[in-house]
Structure 1
Amino acid sequence: MRIYFSVDMEGVTGLVDADDVQPGGRDYERGRLMMAEDVNAAIRGAIAAGATGITVNDAHGRMRNLLPESLHPAARLIRGRTKQMGMLEGLTPEHDAVVCVGYHSRAGAPGVLSHSFMGHEIEDIWLDGRPVGEIGLAHATAAAIGVPVAVLTGDDSACAEMAEWDGSVATVAVKYAHGRFAADLRPAGEARTAIEEAVAAALSAPRTAQSVAAEPAEPSTLAVRWQSASVAATLLGIPGVTSTDTRTVQAQGTLPGLYRLFGVWMRVAASLTDQPPYC
């Protein structure tokens, strides 16, 4: 059984502030170790369920947060950027399940460090008219590849967002949002035991014993509303991109190709802006 881990940072046990998750922040070095402990708990759960192949993708920020020496020795790490598939780099139909560790809720949601991919640069995202963030887009893309999401860990807002997309996904709330930069924290040991047990149980269930068939490649529409009209105007130079207003662009295509295209949009936006993600 091959398991794929997509590991973000804002939803990690104990972390509540930009200083916890951004390089140069006062508590970033501690934060990256907390990140490793959460993913290691999930890896232990996967091994208990019989996993023989484990791929971990560092999916936060510049994607150089996990220290290879701090990761469980059973895992292979995908580290660094730029990656064509971003938060899902390395996911293939040969994987049996996806585990999302440390995820957060979408922009505008009342969750800890909530945002969608680029902080305030992205105000809203819609997939086929439905509001979506990193959780929903990862779930939809993994389904198109043919791999089910089995578990998600994060704060209670992220868990609720995942439940809206797929109630069969096991979720572990490691903290409870009291605002965008405050939370009621579960004790670290308790949270990691919960992660390990949830992953072991979910991956032992018949639903994730083997990969599901990829969903039919039906066209979807992805729309993004940017804070900056200049970003939207620049993206109109990409064939197939249209606008619905001065700050919203959209494109049609099939996943996972549409996910890759969105990655190009973000790289264009990053080249035009220079603003921290949580101000």
Structure 2
Amino acid sequence: MRVYVSADMEGITGLVDADDVQPGGRDYERGRALMAEDVNAAVRGAVRAGATEILVNDAHGPMRNLLPEALHPAARLVRGKPKRMSMLEGLTAGHDALVCVGHHARAGALGVLSHSFMGHEIEDMWLDDRPVGEIGLVHATAAAVGVPMAVLTGDDAACAEATEWDPSVATVTVKYARDRFAAELRPPGQARRAVEEAVVAALAAPPVAPTAPPDGPVDLTVRWQSASVAAVLLDIPGVTAVDARTVRARGALPGLYRQFGVWMRVAASLTGRPPYC
């Protein structure tokens, strides 16, 4: 069994603030250690369930948060950027399951460190007119590759979002949002045991077929904070305007997911503001 782990940081046990998850933040070094512990709990669960190959992708920010020496030796690590497939770099149809560790709710949700890919720069996103954030787009893209999302860990808002998107995904709530930068925390040991046991149970069960995206192309619509970002994106073939700050493109996943990565690189080059404000 081949297991793929997409590791984000905002939904990690104990983390609540930008200083916990951004390089240079006063608690970032501690945050990256906590991230490794949550990831290792998932890896232990995969090993117990019989995984013969585990690939972990560091999917947060600079994508250099996990220290290789801190990672469980049963896993290989994809680290650094740019990556054409970003949060899903290295995922192939040969993987049997996707495990998302430390993920967070979409922009506008009252979840810990909630946002959609770029902090304040992306105000809203829709996939075929359905509100979507990182969880939904990662789920749909993995499904297009042919891999089911088996487990997702994060705060209660992220877990509710995953369940709304696909009730078959097993979720582990490691903290409960009090506000965007505040949470009630589960004890770390308890949370990590829950992550490990959820992964064991999900991977040991009969495999669930991935929820297939709609046949043919889908629409991805993004509303930006800045009209200048939307205007520049219109120079990319296939990108059309919905209004002054909103653009849309139609295509098949995972290709459309890769194109969205280009949109974010364009937006980053035009803004340069910190992702949480």
- Pair 1:273 & 2:245 matched: no
Check conservation: 1:10, 1:104, Cα contact below 8 A: yes
Identity %: 77
Shift of the 193–133 alpha-carbon distance from structure 1 to 2, 3 Å rule, reads same
Q: Which residue of 2 aligns with 1:114?
A: 114
* Per-residue deviation, residues 204-250 of structure 1 (Å, max 9, x unmatched): 01025xx7596565110000000000000000000000001000000
User: Using a 3 Å threshold, how does the CA distance of structure 1 residues 235 and 60 change in structure 2: closer, same or farther?
Assistant: same
Q: Is the 8 A contact 2:16 2:112 kept in 1?
A: yes
User: Normalising by the residue count of structure 2, what TM-score does the alignment of the two structures yield?
Assistant: 0.98
- SS of the equivalent of 1:69 reads helix
Q: What corresponds to 1:205 in structure 2?
A: 205
Contact 2:140 2:213 in 1 (8 A): no
Contact (CA 8 Å) 1:217, 1:255: kept in 2 or not?
Answer: no
User: What is the alpha-carbon root mean square deviation over aligned residues?
Assistant: 1.1
Rounded to whole Å, the distance in 2 between the matches of 1:93 and 1:212 is 11
Query: What letter is aligned with 1:166?
Result: D
Question: Unaligned regions of 5+ residues in structure 1, if any?
Answer: none
Quote the Cα distance in structure 1 between the aligned partners of 2:167 and 2:30.
33
Deviations 1:103-153 (CA, angstroms, capped at 9, x unpaired): 000000000000000000000000000110000000000000000000000
Would you say 1:20 and 2:20 are equivalent positions?
A: yes
* CA shift for structure 1 position 18: 0.2
Partner-residue secondary structure (3-state), 1:184: strand
In 1: Cα distance, 2:206 partner to 2:272 partner: 47
Structure 2: where are the runs of 5+ without partners? none
Shift of 1:274: 1.1
Q: Which piece of structure 1 moves more, 199-208 or 183-192? A: 199-208
CA contact (8 A) 1:12 1:154 kept: yes
Residues 17-96 of structure 1 correspond to what in structure 2 (within 5 A)? 17-96=17-96
- Hey, what's the Cα distance between the residues in 2 that align with 1:216 and 1:187? 40
